[in-house]
Structure 1
Amino acid sequence: MVLPRSAVATAEEKPDATRAGLERLSQRRVFFGHQSVGGNILEGVHALLPAPDALSVVEVKDPAATIPAGTLAHAFVGQNEQPETKLAHFERLLDGGLAKQLDVALVKFCYIDFTSSTDAKALFEKYRATLAGLKSRHPGVTFVHVTAPLTTVQRGAKAWFNELRGRPVFGVGENVSREAFNALMRRTYDGKEPLFDLAALESSQADGSRETYEVNGRAYPAMVPAYSDDGGHLNAQGRTRVASALVTFLASLPEPQREAPASAKAQP
């Protein structure tokens, strides 16, 4: 499989490239399992559409739902702060019949699923095992892996005051856990299976420079403050950046290899 360019490389595509991506997606059936940041991304996709019918973005709850070509189907899976429930819900939907309707599927965690004490290795192993099982059971579906989103890091006087009083500084410990998880995602899938690096997009300026902070002399990525109004969810600028990259990325995936109908196979 020839994989598309990294998500970071496609983040600032020209509008005509985004339109071309939407045209290619009009022939595909995609399912996206997510929570609130995923909702932000879908808002961004809506804003990119040149016409309301250019791509159908619909929520599905029934795994037996019909997913026609040109559909970006999605569902709010599991519960925030309980990432294992998101994997289980995503798995139930696909195994329940949804996978038969799809060309591409992806599930992402949310920034709130990670704390400074999250066991990133254990969570990644659960993710890896779940996706490996789905890939084995549904070989006709292309599974896209997505890195965990980041938050901004508190800086300035408030951060200094919290450190002085021994209080946690917003984003510092949590982003360390997210980066530990994301490093395992990149090490396992980058260049081998489709990987949409959401964290890299969120931590990169338009000129390619990175937003980082240091812990014990090591640099960790954080969300660029301009991409969020509350430190975690994507604002208009962040939504446009990520949605454009996601559309281009999904459209760049190899064409699905659909299995021929049984009647066709029976022909001499």
Structure 2
Amino acid sequence: MRSARGFPARIGALLLPGALLMVLPRSAVATAEEKPDATRAGLERLSQRRVFFGHQSVGGNILEGVHALLPAPDALSVVEVKDPAATIPAGTLAHAFVGQNEQPETKLAHFERLLDGGLAKQVDVALVKFCYIDFTSSTDAKALFEKYRATLAGLKSRHPGVTFVHVTAPLTTVQRGAKAWFNELRGRPVFGVGENVSREAFNALMRRTYDGKEPLFDLAALESSQADGSRETYEVNGRAYPAMVPAYSDDGGHLNAQGRTRVASALVTFLASLPEPQREAPASAKAQP
């Protein structure tokens, strides 16, 4: 998708690489700030919980960030699981690389198989995250969201003892400067522009459906927000869309040390803030007077 900027704006983009981006005020978005005390308290609370996280590479970045936050190696066990019948003790952040990149439906199917295969009996909280590469400028965000919604609704119905957390799709930076200007001039796609539009369409449906109703971790809002709350955006046809803050990534998509710390801290605090799981008592316990 091409921006509807005029020639003067293109010249400005060539001379001033940051001119394509705007910064919105702090009030435009609410994101979790990094609070060391809250992170430490969150890690302590997670030591009593069992969490399962389905992801690919950006999820791996987030887990690297969690590792870096641990005050001691045994403060929280971060382990990869492949067998859905595996035993998951309290204090475990279990994870799996689910599905194939660029095929988001396979991630949902794999996540579903693992939980239905026995993992749901072993965990208190479960979440699955798409990757930025799962979205192109032509992605049907509504159709993908409907597939996601139906999958999660089915899992929630079959496994009422598990708290399912929804996660918005991650963003990328937007290409800027001379290269972006030349690509646009030649009718070539500018990295991040059309793809982030699709991601935002999906994320808007996530927020509209789940925000305030079910747990929603807004990864995209964290990635597109500075520490002071101001947002990184760009404009397409007069409308502002969020993009990843360049300081959070070295390659435009994966999280670097700063990005990992920001997102991991927020995720730990978020997961720790969830209500205590309400597991159904075993039949033998119910039978006792």
- Could you say if the C-alpha distance between residues 177 and 198 of structure 1 is closer, same or farther in structure 2, counting changes exceeding 3 Å? same
CA distance in 2, matches of 1:62, 1:129: 24
- Could you say if the C-alpha distance between residues 173 and 2 of structure 1 is closer, same or farther in structure 2, counting changes exceeding 3 Å? closer
Match of 2:89 in 1: 68
CA distance in 2, matches of 1:4, 1:259: 46
Q: Cα offset for 1:163?
A: 0.5
Determine if the alignment matches structure 1 residue 215 to structure 2 residue 232.
no
Q: Cα offset for 1:67?
A: 0.3
Q: Secondary structure at the match of 1:6?
A: helix
Q: Cα offset for 1:12?
A: 2.1
Q: Cα offset for 1:258?
A: 1.5
Instruction: Indicate conservation of the 8 Å contact 2:52/2:127, yes or no.
Output: yes
CA distance in 1, matches of 2:184, 2:91: 50
- Could you say if the C-alpha distance between residues 151 and 101 of structure 1 is closer, same or farther in structure 2, counting changes exceeding 3 Å? same
Determine if the alignment matches structure 1 residue 95 to structure 2 residue 136.
no
Q: CA RMSD in A?
A: 4.0
CA distance in 1, matches of 2:167, 2:187: 34
CA distance in 2, matches of 1:10, 1:175: 19
Q: Cα offset for 1:75?
A: 0.1
Identity of aligned residues (%): 100
TM-score (norm 2): 0.89
Match of 2:65 in 1: 44
CA distance in 2, matches of 1:260, 1:7: 44
Match of 1:31 among 32, 45, 52: 52
Q: Cα offset for 1:17?
A: 1.1
Q: Secondary structure at the match of 1:213?
A: strand
Q: Cα offset for 1:4?
A: 23
Q: Cα offset for 1:51?
A: 0.2
- Could you say if the C-alpha distance between residues 179 and 9 of structure 1 is closer, same or farther in structure 2, counting changes exceeding 3 Å? closer
- Could you say if the C-alpha distance between residues 3 and 246 of structure 1 is closer, same or farther in structure 2, counting changes exceeding 3 Å? farther
- Could you say if the C-alpha distance between residues 57 and 139 of structure 1 is closer, same or farther in structure 2, counting changes exceeding 3 Å? same
Q: Secondary structure at the match of 2:37?
A: helix
Rg larger in structure: 2
CA distance in 2, matches of 1:243, 1:190: 20
Instruction: Indicate conservation of the 8 Å contact 2:173/2:245, yes or no.
Output: yes
Q: Can you list the C-alpha shifts for 1:207-262, whole angstroms capped at 9, x where unaligned?
A: 10000000000000000000000000000000000000000000000000121122
CA distance in 2, matches of 1:160, 1:206: 29
Determine if the alignment matches structure 1 residue 113 to structure 2 residue 159.
no
Q: Cα offset for 1:11?
A: 3.0
Instruction: Indicate conservation of the 8 Å contact 1:7/1:245, yes or no.
Output: no
CA distance in 1, matches of 2:235, 2:149: 29
* Unpaired segments ≥5 residues, structure 2: 1-21
TM-score (norm 1): 0.96
